[in-house]
Structures are given as structure tokens and as C-alpha cells.
Structure 1
Amino acid sequence: MGIEKSQPLRSIWLKTKQLINNDSIKPFIPDTQKFNKVNLKSMIARYGMLYIKPEIGTHGMGVIKAEMNNQQDFAYQMNQKRLTFNSFDSFHKSLAHVVNQRSYLIQRGIHLLKYNNRRFDIRVMVQLSPEQQWEATGVIGRLGHSKKIVTNYHNGGQPMDIHKLLESHVSTKRRNELIQEMNKLGVGIARHMNKKYKRLKAIGVDIGLDQSLTPWVIEVNAKPDPYIFNQLKDKTMYRKVIRYFRHTDHKP
């Protein structure tokens, strides 16, 4: 069975459980729980904003953003549709109808940095090198659509140079340090996952930066799309990513 058909590598829940077993990675993993009424109530009260997502999903499909403005006002958005509620019970009932007994997760919401008033996150590509060493081969920003809640390229997101997205938030020196920190985190995740998933050749680590510049691991993709790097004007990263994919015979 190839890695692309391996159920554990598709399950956000199983990947999250593995990552939090590593003490150096755990601090960067947002609180994630199974979707149910008890977890929804405690997490919305604690964090104020959540993302509710399918345990197995692609391209940001089915992701819901949920918010509590005060103890009585609740809302959620899916795609471009936003619904509001004046009680937790009506809020939960509506969400439960959308989830419809499918396996969904609740994840602590991260208030992402913005560029031109649009949220963005970061994809770090980590691959096995020709020397069989894990290496961060590319890092790219994903600027979300102004009216959508996800940043995925297939859902209206715009791939962008990470330096351009970060330049209004941090100095050049800090920007370079931050990229190195995210690359190191990505390599650490690949090494840790590879202990269990021996056939792993590449991962895409989706990282969200909050106002304090803490890198939060939103998701780890075991079948990352290399072609988003071709959207950059400078093709250096794209060429390296493709070369590594071809060397390992990993089919993107």
C-alpha cells in the first residue's frame, strides 16, 4: 500500500496524536479534539475561535470557522456563508446537522497574521534528499481569499513569496530567523513521522503565525503539491523540490 492510500497518513487525528508524543513538537500543535457537544462547549469558551474540520479532507473542503463573541452570541462560517445564533444549543444543533455523524475534529483557532487585510499561512516543504537526509526544500506563503476562511490554493488562496508577506511584520533579520525556525520545525516533524511511516518521502507542513510570531502547526500533508512553488517568480525552490521528488520517485 502506497503512502497516498495509507489511512493513518490521511487522518489529521492520528497524525496529531503522533506529533504530540514528541516533546519538542507538542508546544506548536494547537489543541485538537474530536467533534462532540462537550468538546465544542469547552473549547469555544476557552479559545473564542475554532476551526472544525473533517478528520480526512483535502484542499480545505468542509472546514468551518466557529466563533463566540460573548456568552450568548455564536456564529460559524463555511465557504462564504455565515450563520449566527443566540444560544449555544442552537449553534451546536446546526453544526451537528452539517457534520452529520461524519468524523470531524475541533481545533483551536489561530488568529493568523494578515497581508492587505487578508489572512495568510505558510507551507514548508520537507523532503528526503538524494543523500537520504530530511531537508526543508521550500517555503511559501499562502494568502487567503478575502471572503473565505481557508488559504488553500485550490480554494482561492494565492501562493506568494514569504518575505513579501512578512516584511510589514518583522525586520529582515528576524524574518530570516523565523524561516529557519519553521524549516527546523518541519524537518523535526518529518523525522518524527518517519519513525512510524517508513515509506514517507515528503511532507508539507502548514504553519500559521499569530501576533506573537509563534509558529502553529495547522496540518501536516503527506502528499504535498510541489507545483505551488512554480507560482513564484524565482524558480529556484521549485526546481529543487521537483528534483528531489524525481530522485525519490515520489509521485506528487
Structure 2
Amino acid sequence: MGLGKMNKYYVMLKHPALRRYLPKTRWMTASRTLRMLKAYPSVFIKPNHGSGGGGIIRAKRLSRGYEVRSGSSQKIVGRSRSALKAIHSYRSSRHQYLVQKGLRLAKYHGVIFDIRIYMQKPKHTWMIAGMVARVAAPHKFVTNYHKGGHAAPLHRVLFSLFHHDQAKAKACLRKIEKLSMIIAKTLNKRYPLRELGVDLAIDEDGHIWIIEANSRPGHMLFYQLSDHSMIRTIMKNKQRIRK
């Protein structure tokens, strides 16, 4: 089993350079969930141990009431207490859950996207082996490959996001690279890591957020890119790490 999401969140939260990029995340309790439902337009409820977007629940405030979704199933309820009951109906008793502030994500061709940075340490230093935008399938609220998300070249998505302003797109990319390196080094001080999948998002205001860092990242998304140089680098590094 990989490292829990909350353990990694708390390690990153202690780093002054990362703190402002972390959306508020707490262990899920009924009272905390109710408070966050009232404080934010949406919240995400995630299993502490989980990957591929599985088991994620979103509760979103409507003009009257709430929409609670898990996968393709949804419930519309009138009150926050009813939303809490709907959330509990989607939960698995096998998992511990966390509750995270929802973000208004930027869109690419009308659908939300986030960013996967594939970090590897084949020898003694961390490197960015791959960077890709994960574009959600239509009407999905998660971008994961296993939930229908598809890959798009990150530079192309950023160029579109910043209205073809090359300087802004490059500045954003540099910030993403710097953040990813700090995250990898920070978590590696605490845990024996050689690979890390850093998931970042950009909201509608252009602010970058750290969604999570995966200690067992998937790499299948990189095969979808027409340029296979990143997946070749990732697979070559995997061989070095195994040795």
C-alpha cells in the first residue's frame, strides 16, 4: 500500500514554500465536512489510500441544496445534513477519508484539466522525466486515466490557457517545475522515494494548487502523447531504479 495522502499533505504543509499551494485538507469527520460544505462552493471527499480517481466523492453547492456525485451516480438534496448522509452512502467502510476544499479548475477545450509531473531519481538527484496535462472526459469531475481522462501536451494546454501569451505560459511552466522539485525533495527527506507523481491544478484565476503526490505513479498516460520521448525516459529510468 502506498503512502497515505494525509501523511504527505502534512509533510508538505510544514514547508513554507509549499503551504500557499495546498488546498485546505482535513481528516473527514461529520462536523468538519459540514463546516467545509458551508464555507466552499464544493468539497472533495477522498479515500486516504486510493489511486486512479477511485472512490472520490464530490459535494457541490447549488442555488438550492447540494449535488453529491460519485462516479456516474448523483444525488440532489436540499440541506447540508442531507448532503452528509448522501456522502456517507457512497463511502466504503474499508477506507479512511479526507475532505478537501474544491477548486474551480481552469478548462481546456471546455473541460477541466490538471497536470501530472513524473518525478524520478534514477541515481542521486531528482529529475522531471515527464510532464503532461490530464484532460477530463466530458461531464467527469476527475481527470484520471482510469476515469476516461486523456493526455494533452502540457505546453500546448498552457499556451491556450494564457491566450497564446508565450511569456506567461513559460513562466507558469517554470513555476510548475520548481514546485515539483521542491515537493520531491521535501517528501524524500521523510520517505525513501525514487519515483513520485506530482498532481497540480490551475484554477480559473491562474493560481497553481498541489492536489496530491503519488508515491506509486502510473505512467500509461504518457503513451498517449505523439512524442514518445518522455515515456522512453520514464521506462529507462525505471530500469536503472530496479538495478
Give the CA deviation at 1:24: 0.9
Q: Give the match for residue 188 of structure 1.
A: 182
Shift of 1:177: 1.8
Q: Tell me the equivalent position of 1:249.
A: 242
8 Å CA contact 2:12–2:18 kept in 1: the answer is: yes
Letter paired with 1:232: L
Question: Contact 2:47–2:97 at 8 Å: present in 1 too?
Answer: yes
Q: Secondary structure at the match of 1:119?
A: strand
The whole-number CA distance in structure 2 between the counterparts of 1:125 and 1:62 is 23
The match for 1:39 is: 32
The one-letter code sitting in structure 1 at the alignment partner of 2:186 is H
1:21-67 deviations in Å (ceiling 9; x for gaps): 11111111110011222111111111111111111111101111111
Residue 135 (structure 1) shift: 1.4
Counterpart amino acid of 2:36?
Answer: M
Task: Tell me which residue corresponds to 1:21.
Answer: 14
- Partner of residue 206 from structure 2, selected from 192, 199, 213: 213
SS in 2 for 1:149: coil
Q: Which residue of 2 aligns with 1:98?
A: 90
Task: Give yes or no for contact 1:51–1:108 (8 Å, CA) kept in 2.
Answer: yes
CA RMSD of aligned residues (A): 1.6
Are 2:101 and 1:108 aligned?
yes
Pairing of 1:45-60 with structure 2 (within 5 A): 45-60=38-53
In structure 2, C-alpha distance between the alignment counterparts of 1:143 and 1:49, rounded to whole Å: 20
Question: How many pairs align?
Answer: 240
The gaps in structure 2 that reach 5 residues or longer are none
Displacement of 1:207: 0.6
Q: TM-score, normalised by structure 1?
A: 0.90
1:202 aligns with 2:166: no
TM-score (norm 2): 0.93
Name the residue aligned to 1:229.
Answer: 222
| Superposition deviation, residue 78 in structure 1 | 1.1
Which residue number corresponds to residue 171 of structure 2?
A: 177
Tell me if structure 2 keeps the 8 A contact 1:80–1:147: no
* Aligned positions of 1:2-17 closer than 5 A: 5=1, 9=3, 11-17=4-10
Give yes or no for contact 1:78–1:149 (8 Å, CA) kept in 2.
no
* Inter-partner Cα distance in structure 2 for 1:100 and 1:185: 33
Say which SS state the counterpart of residue 62 (structure 1) adopts.
coil
What secondary structure does 2:118 align onto? Answer: strand
2:71 — aligned with what? 79
Percent identity between the two aligned chains: 27
Structure-to-structure mapping, 1:157-168, within 5 angstroms: 157-168=149-160
Q: Which amino acid aligns with 1:33?
A: R
Q: Which amino acid aligns with 1:195?
A: K
Partner amino acid for 2:132? I
Aligned-partner Cα distance in 2 for 1:219–1:69: 27
* Unaligned runs of at least 5 residues, structure 1: none
Counterpart contact for 2:42–2:59, Cα < 8 Å: yes
Helix, strand or coil: the match of 1:53? strand
What are the superposed Cα offsets for residues 60-90 of structure 1, whole Å, 9 maximum, x if unpaired? 01111111135x5111111122211111121
Deviation at 1:226, TM superposition (A): 2.4
Match of 2:131 in 1: 139
